Amino acid sequence: MPARSLALAAAVHLLAGSASGAPDGVAKQPESPALSPVDITGKDFAGYRFQEPAREGRLGFTCSRANVWKTGPKDDPVTRMYLEGDVKAKLGALEFSAARAVVWLQPIGGTGTATEYQFFIYFDRVSMPTAAPDSSNTITLSGDRVPVKGVLRTSEGVTLMPDLLLDGPADDPLVREGERALAAYLRDPSGTGIAARRTL
């Protein structure tokens, strides 16, 4: 699809609304199906649902350039993003700053006007997640490659504010590296599959 250069005066909202098939006021919490290693490519969540309770908070991203595309089955799609250039990620009470990031986002339920999203983010040269100004959280870390995953509940949808927005997947080695990291996690969620994984 052709590239679209957007001067964004307001945030672009992705995955707004309730997850498909979840009635209003009822949280959809499917059990994770048995996974075959052959079916786990890292391109999507392969039907897997992160089991930790959802935390309240915002999901938002800013960057210089963003590629956005969809993967997975039509009735259970995953929004993929490749972000580069002064990447900022707001994940609940934490704010990350990185050179680049590969993002997987999927709505997995909701109650009322709030939607729960599971996410997996593969950061490149993340400087640190810092506490938001209104938070008492003092977690800090840094690294060349840092995968982060979690579940957040928000009534604001997911916001993306790039200087340049491109439709379609990015052909970048970091995307494939991130897919391998997600696949390793899904094959071995006990924590020995990849190093430095973080659960929010």
Helix (H/G/I), strand (E/B), else coil: 47: coil
- Pairing mode, if any, of strands 158-167 and 12-14? antiparallel
Contact 100, 125 (CB under 8 A): yes
- Domain ranges within the chain, ordered by starting residue: 12-199
Q: What's the CA gap between 153 and 155, in Å, rounded?
A: 7
Q: What's the CA gap between 174 and 71, in Å, rounded?
A: 17
pLDDT, one tens digit per residue, over 141-155 is: 678 899 999 999 999
- Locate 72 and state its tokens: 């997975």
Helix (H/G/I), strand (E/B), else coil: 180: helix
Burial (0-12, 13-18, 19+ Cβ within 10 Å), 37: exposed
pLDDT, one tens digit per residue, over 26-69 is: 233 455 556 667 788 999 999 888 888 899 999 999 999 999 99
